[in-house]
Amino acid sequence: MKMNGMRHEKGNNVGRLAFLAFMAILILVVLFFPFLCGGRILYLTIIGLVGAILALGTNIFFGYCGQINFGAAGFFAAGGYGVALLEKYLNLPFAINLILAVIIVGFLTLLISLCLVRMRGHGLALGTLAFALGIHASVSKGFVAFTGGEDGINLAPLILFNGSKAGDSFFYYLLVAAVAACYWVSWVLRNSRVGRAMVGIAQNETAAASVGVDIKKYLRIALVLNGVMGGLAGGIFVKWASWCAPEYFNLMCNVIILLSVVVGGTGSTLGAVVGGASMYILPQLLIALAEFHVLFYGVILAIFLRFLPRGIVGETQRLYYWLSLRRSTNRIEGR
């Protein structure tokens, strides 16, 4: 977004100033958001931020590398249960729990990635899905005595340094920091050698391999990053919800995460944030849908796949290019 603004408004100081002012206002609003509005809106924002991290993670493997990841909820669940189990059995402080859980999820992802990077297409889709469903089955039915089964695990409220309980606004700032970090990682990755190799894999695997790209290595990196981001989202989410249960991580959760990447714009970092936030906030707003929420997801996915394949961000960019192209053509032709 920043790059587009620069490229098209070069030498146009008004446009540049407007862009800077917009960014400044955005940053101010983000910083003081909990003071501006609380309660339900803050609650929805937190859910949206969790969705944004999940979508950012999945965007690396699915968007950059072009490999389907149907098991993002598995990483989410692994992070959540990592934090919950560490708290239940070791009783460590939350910060250490979160870091440990993210590291554990990273290693777990590395382990399964050894097997997953050998597959493509439908095999990969099913392999990742089997991972997510395996995690779900083991926490909900497999090891009930250890994980509490469908009843889940209750987590103690987070106590801050000044002795008070952490409220929604604390988790808001934590999640904003996490989203910013994941966004930064995605953005740097996309503009680095590694990210370009990943996009090369998505475009043509054979061509990428022929110029010396180690495909399996880059897919492993992408999957581990995906897992780490999913685990981070899960860890923060369960502590905020102060309850960790299998129902957060069911089959539908996989569908929603994949859907949010498609809706935002596959391969677009900003799109992942927009898509993740909107796909997690919208169903909360549309309570009236109640029993038709599955239909709602289906219709959204169908519309985006058939009519808006570039997603929200991609289609907006295309519209913007089209408008500016028309404007400059008009200027040249003296209209």
Partner 1 sequence: MELFVITVTTGICIGVIYGLVGLSFTAIYNASKIVNFSQGVLAMVGAFVGHLFVFNAKVPLYLGVVLCMAIPAICGLWVNRFFSEPLLKRNVPLVTTFLATLAGALIIEGLVGGYTHFAYFETRFVFGKEPVTFGLFRISRQYLAIIIAAAVLCIGYWFLLNKTKIGLGINATGIDPDMASLVGINLSRTRMLAWAISCGITGIAGFLVAPLILATPLMGLPVVVDGFIAAIIGGFGNPLAAVLGGIILGLLRYFFIGYISAGLGDLCVFIALLLTLALRPQGIIRVRE
Site string for partner 1, 256-295 (x = CB under 8 A): --x---x----------------------------xxxxx
165 strand-pairing partners? 159
Residues in the chain: 335
H-state helical runs in the chain: 2-8, 13-36, 39-58, 72-89, 94-116, 121-137, 144-147, 168-190, 193-203, 205-210, 215-241, 251-264, 269-285, 293-306, 311-332
Distance between CA atoms of 59 and 66, rounded to whole angstroms?
9
Among residues 114 and 156, whose Cβ is nearest to partner 1? 114
Distance between CA atoms of 319 and 264, rounded to whole angstroms?
15
CB 87 within 8 A of CB 155: yes
CB 64 within 8 A of CB 187: no
Report, in Å, the least distance between residue 309 CB and partner 1: 8
CB 230 within 8 A of CB 27: no
Q: Which two tokens stand for residue 217?
A: 């290595």
Report, in Å, the least distance between residue 305 CB and partner 1: 5
Pairing of strands 243-244, 153-154: antiparallel
Among residues 5 and 283, whose Cβ is nearest to partner 1? 283
The owner of tokens 């800077």 is 20
Candidate residues 5, 15, 38, 66; the one interacting with partner 1 per rule CB under 8 A: 66
Site string for partner 1, 1-40 (x = CB under 8 A): ----------------------------------------
Going along 139-276, which residue ranges are E strands?
153-154, 243-244
Measure CA of the first residue to CA of the last residue in the chain; give whole Å. Answer: 29
Site string for partner 1, 176-215 (x = CB under 8 A): ----------------------------------------
| Residue 253 interacting with partner 1 (CB under 8 A) | no
Among residues 47 and 132, whose Cβ is nearest to partner 1? 132
Site string for partner 1, 142-161 (x = CB under 8 A): xxx-----------------
Q: List binders of partner 1 among 77-136 (CB under 8 A).
A: 112, 115, 118-119, 121-123, 125-127, 129-131, 133-134
Report, in Å, the least distance between residue 306 CB and partner 1: 7
Count Cβ atoms below 10 Å from residue 240 Cβ, excluding itself.
24
Among residues 290 and 332, whose Cβ is nearest to partner 1? 290
Report, in Å, the least distance between residue 296 CB and partner 1: 7
Q: Which two tokens stand for residue 204?
A: 């043509």
181-to-175, 187, 193 alpha-carbon distances in Å: 10, 10, 19
Candidate residues 50, 53, 68, 223; the one interacting with partner 1 per rule CB under 8 A: 68
Report, in Å, the least distance between residue 129 CB and partner 1: 6
Query: What is the three-class DSSP state of 125?
Result: helix
Report the interface residues with partner 1, using CB under 8 A: 62, 66-68, 112, 115, 118-119, 121-123, 125-127, 129-131, 133-134, 137-138, 141-144, 251-252, 255, 258, 262, 291-299, 301-302, 305-306, 309
